[in-house]
Amino acid sequence: MRIRRRKNAAEILCQKYADFVVEEPNKLKGKWKEKLGYDKLYAEFGSGKGRFVTNKALNQPEVLYVGVEREPEVLIKTAEKAATKLPKNLRLINTDVEFITDAFAKGEVDRLFLNFSDPWPKRRHAKRRLTFCHFLDRYKQILAPGAEIHFKTDNRGLFEFSLNEFSACGWTMKNIRLDYQPEEDSDDIMTEYELKFREMGQPIYRLEAFYPNYEEKV
């Protein structure tokens, strides 16, 4: 996705959309649910333009949703949707996933969504993929015992890479789909990318994963 740079995008986020954007997430680390009054916290890393996380928050008002996006220009799109639809249980963070343990404490996240992450197709960029083992180790530090990662992509190469990474790093996978079709009664939400790819007839790859040996986490 080509990003149109916007002057002072980070400042706009914090000033215009302060009801949703958490400027200093480290101050809520370990206290998200307590301070905001929720029993469950679900996060989407790489939340893009926000169709998924905004609508999930609207559909599940009992769950605190947190969208994490490193590009402020992109996160503004989510903030605009939030300002229109006004989900009270949605918060947004402008940060890189590399620093996610600064925002969340051990066991604080009850579910993690990775939707259509950048595939970084060049081999030399493999370490930037959000399912690279380095990032999976980060997720172990913030996920609650038994918490799942729900991963979707249109990129077969990224999916095969992710299968290998989850397995090599000790995660258990289930519900692996090479042509994912949501059930009629599913509460799944399609992202902007998923809508586009389905219109083009491209298969969607999906899996769920959890880390079985919680006490062994670093």
Determine the pLDDT at residue 215.
Answer: 57
What is the spatial distance between Cα 194 and Cα 190, in angstroms, rounded to a whole number?
6
Token pair of 189, please?
A: 């939400």
185 is catalytic: no
Cα 136 to its chain centre, rounded Å, is 13
Q: What pLDDT is recorded for position 218?
A: 47
* DSSP β-bridge partners for residue 143: 109
The active-site residue out of 118, 137, 154, 188 is 118
Please determine, for residue 1, whether its predicted confidence score (pLDDT) is greater than 60.
Answer: no
Residue 103 token pair:
């925002």
Domain range annotation of the chain? 40-216
**Better-scored residue on pLDDT, 22 or 3:** 22
Paired residues of 65 in beta bridges: 42, 90
pLDDT of residue 182: 85
Query: What residues pair up with 109 in beta bridges, in sequence order?
Result: 143
Tell me the per-residue pLDDT of 60-83, one tens digit each, with 9 for 90 and over. 999 999 999 999 999 999 999 999
Note whether 151 and 204 are within 8 A (CB).
no
Q: How confident is the prediction for the chain on average, in pLDDT? A: 93
pLDDT band at residue 11 using 50, 70 and 90 as cut-offs = confident
| 141-200 pLDDT, tens digit each | 999 999 999 999 999 999 999 999 999 999 999 999 999 998 866 789 999 999 999 999
* Percent of the chain whose predicted confidence (pLDDT) is above 90: 85
Confidence of residue 216 (pLDDT cuts 50, 70, 90): low
The pLDDT value given to residue 12: 85
Q: Give the residue-averaged pLDDT of 119-137.
A: 96
Which CATH number is associated with domain 40-216? 3.40.50.150
Q: Give the predicted TM-score (pTM) of the model.
A: 0.92
Please tell me the number of Cα atoms within 13 Å of 172 on its side-chain side. 9
